[in-house]
Amino acid sequence: MTIKIANDLSKYLNYQVLHRDVEDKESILKKFRLHNSLVLVCTSTLSAGFDYSSVRAVIHFQSAYSIIDFAQESGRADRDNQLAKSIVFISSSSILSTKRDSKVQKAFKLTYLVEKVCRRRVLNAELDDQHMTKC
């Protein structure tokens, strides 16, 4: 998600926004951790290094920059082994129009995000080059 879209979405939804240009990141994260804020609109700035156990959902408004970014961002939920969801709002045409991805990456994103498959198996094949027989 771009900074502009994050800012617009945060204003529309009336929730805090977090991205690289936000001045008071620590204050925003502290409120979120203390449950003073239940929703946080953010860019990929929150992916790596954010380890907060009670995130119940990660909602993607656009395609992540890469499948590794997507895995990192989705992995913000379920840190306490409780039920959590990763929800993606994206059209298949927007995946195909992404210029930064190779044909293989586009095909992988389509398989992972659109088709009815075991996503864990697809991710494992892409990230670890291992093919699981069961999910």
pLDDT at 12 over 70: yes
Residue 82's pLDDT is: 80
pLDDT at 65 over 80: no
pLDDT at 132 over 70: no
Residue 104 · residue 98 · CB < 8 Å: no
Computed over every residue of the chain, the mean pLDDT equals 76
- CA angle centred on 94, ends 6 and 69, rounded to 5°: 60
Confidence of residue 135 (pLDDT cuts 50, 70, 90): low
What are the C-alpha distances in Å from 66 to residues 71, 81, 90, 117?
9, 25, 14, 19
pLDDT at 97 over 70: no
